[in-house]
Amino acid sequence: MTTHKQQSAEPQPETGDLPADEAAAETAGEPAAAAEIPDSEQEILEALAEEAEAPDPRDQEIAELKDKLLRTAAETENIRRRSVRDREDAHKFAISRFAQDLCEIADNLRRAITAVPAEHAKEGVVATVIEGVELTERTLLSVFERHGMTMIDPVGEKFDPNLHEAMTEIEDPSTAPGTIVQVFQTGYLLNDRLIRPARVIVARGGKKEVGETVDTVA
C-alpha cells in the first residue's frame, strides 16, 4: 500500500512580502513620520509670516498712484484758478489802452477850462463855453468811474513812487519834505491797477514833520 506524504496546509509567504520583523519596524516608523507633520506646518506658518511682514510691491505701487493722483488734482485746480484769474484780468484790463487814450481827452478838457483867465470866465459866450466844457469833463469822469477808473490828483499828499512820477523838486519852507506841491498831469487807476502815474512836483527841505528830529551842530 502506497503512502503519500501529507503536505502542510499552512500558506507560504508570497514573493515580495516583508518579514514580520520588517513589517513591525515599518509600522513602528509610522508615528515618527506623523511627528514630522507639525514641523512642516510650522515651516509653512513661518513662511507665511515672513511673507506677510515683507513689503508688498503692490502697496508701494498703490501709494505711488495715489500720490500722482493727488498731484494731478492739485495741478488741475491750480490751472483752473489761473484760467479764472486770467479771464477776470482780461475782462478788467482789456480796455486799458483805450482808457489811456481817453485820459488825454480829459487832460485837454481840463486845459481848456484853466486856460481861460478868471476875469473873462464869467463873460457871456465865454462863460457858456466854459460851462459846456466843464459838463463834458464831468460826464467823462463819470464814465471813467463806471468802468473802474479812478483819478489820481495828489496835491498835498506824500510822494509815492508806486503812483507818482516826480518831475522836479523845489524848495518850499512851508511844506514838509517829500510832499507833492503841484500836479503837472493827473494819474489814473483802472480797477486798482496803475495805467498812468501822476506827474508831480515835490517839496525839498522845508519844515520837518511832527516827530522828526533835526540834527544840530555842537
180-185 sheet: strands from edge to edge: 164-171, 198-204, 180-185
| Lowest-confidence pick of 39-53, 94-108, 149-163 | 39-53
> Tens digit of pLDDT for each residue in 54-108?
666 777 788 888 888 888 888 888 888 888 887 877 777 778 888 888 999 999 9
**Domain spanning 149-208: which CATH class is it, in words?**
mainly beta
- Report pTM: 0.55
Q: Where are the domains of the chain?
A: 149-208
> Tens digit of pLDDT for each residue in 120-144?
777 788 888 889 999 999 999 999 9
Rg (CA), the chain: 53
Reply yes or no on whether the pLDDT at 41 is more than 60. Answer: yes
